[in-house]
Amino acid sequence: TIMSILIAVTSLPDSNTFLASVVDISERSKLMDTLTKQKKELSDFVHLMGHDIRNSLSSIEGYSDLLNESEEQKEMILERINNQTEYLRKLLNRSIELAEAGQVVEKSEKVNLNELVETIGNVTVPENIKLIHDPLVAVKADEEKLSQIIKNLFENAVIHGKPTKIFVRSLLLDDNVALRIGNDGTRIDPENVKKAFESTFTTKEKESIHGLTIVKKLIDAHGWKIKLLDNQDEACFEILIPKEDITEL
């Protein structure tokens, strides 16, 4: 085991004796590493968000000027202004979600995944996309935050995948239950698999709403794990839920 230690040596007065003290600072070093990483993530996030806000405000300003010059295109211009303001609203809402996503969660609720998937699917998945799910387990979780996880993964599939169907599967492993949420649409490029949960990752220009970063933070807060499966046939995220958090199989 590698440890970080601090050694201090002091000579005693009027003596040839030295006093040495050794302090284990491993936890302090880990904390500093975590804070450094969080500082960089925050810096990257603020830079990206500022860039998106500036671009949207510039577009709104340009359309507003055009509105005074072109009466016949008024309806189209107003629609584009509305689209930009809606994008800014989403960006700010997701930013708040991202800030709150790392908070500690209380896994005090029994959540029926069958009901949760169907409820979120009804409001998130368009009618032209088929939602299919296996008989699913019930889990100990924070229902509101688990809803955010599933909602963000469904939205990611709809926005980026353009699928005809979204599926939710359940697979029993040795120490975990694997919850797989995927679709038959466009796959994320294999080069981007490792970047999928970074705050700056996006596969669509200006779609910087940080959904996958929120998912990762919420999964971590539950003590679970998530990964993007590099599948040739479909885009699929796998959530590993420890068996102690399963209440019904």
What's the pLDDT score for residue 167? Answer: 96
DSSP 127-169: TTSEEEE----EEEE-HHHHHHHHHHHHHHIIIII--SEEEEE
Percent residues over pLDDT 90 in the chain? 26
- pLDDT category at 180 given cuts 50, 70, 90 is very high
C-alpha of 124 from chain center: 17
What's the pLDDT score for residue 140? Answer: 93
Residues 238, 191, single domain; the answer is yes
- Residues 33, 34, 39, 45, CA torsion sign: positive
Q: Which of 66, 101, 136 is the last residue of a domain?
A: 101
Q: What is the mean pLDDT of the chain?
A: 81
The model's pTM? 0.67
Burial class of 39 by CB neighbour count within 10 A (0 to 12, 13 to 18, 19+)? exposed
Q: pLDDT for 113-155, tens place per residue?
A: 999 999 999 888 988 999 999 999 999 998 888 988 898 899 8
The CA–CA distances, whole Å, from 155 to 8, 42, 160, 212 equal 55, 24, 8, 10
Q: Name the token pair of 152.
A: 């963000």
What's the pLDDT score for residue 94? Answer: 67
C-alpha–C-alpha distance, residues 84 and 89, integer Å: 9
Residues 225, 114, single domain; the answer is yes
Instruction: Quote the domain boundaries for residue 62.
Output: 27-101
Whether the pLDDT of residue 241 is over 80: the answer is yes
Burial class of 240 by CB neighbour count within 10 A (0 to 12, 13 to 18, 19+)? middle
Q: Name the token pair of 27.
A: 């936890």
Residues 241, 143, single domain; the answer is yes
Residues 88, 181, single domain; the answer is no
pLDDT, average across residues 77-93: 80
Residues 239, 116, single domain; the answer is yes
Please say whether the beta carbons of 155 and 124 come within 8 A.
yes
Least Cα distance to 220 among 104, 94, 142 occurs for 104
Burial 162-178 (b: 16+ CB within 10 A, else e): ebeebbbebeeeeebbb
The answer to which of 9-18, 106-115, 120-129, 239-248 has the lowest mean pLDDT is 9-18
Strand arrangement of the beta sheet that strand 130-133 belongs to: 130-133, 165-172, 176-183, 235-242, 225-229
Q: What's the domain count of the chain?
A: 2
C-alpha–C-alpha distance, residues 244 and 216, integer Å: 20
Residues 82, 115, single domain; the answer is no
11 domain residue, yes or no: no
More confident residue, 29 or 130: 130
What's the pLDDT score for residue 209? Answer: 43
What's the pLDDT score for residue 205? Answer: 43
- pLDDT category at 229 given cuts 50, 70, 90 is confident
Q: pLDDT for 189-201, tens place per residue?
A: 766 666 767 655 6
Whether the pLDDT of residue 173 is over 80: the answer is yes
- pLDDT category at 232 given cuts 50, 70, 90 is low
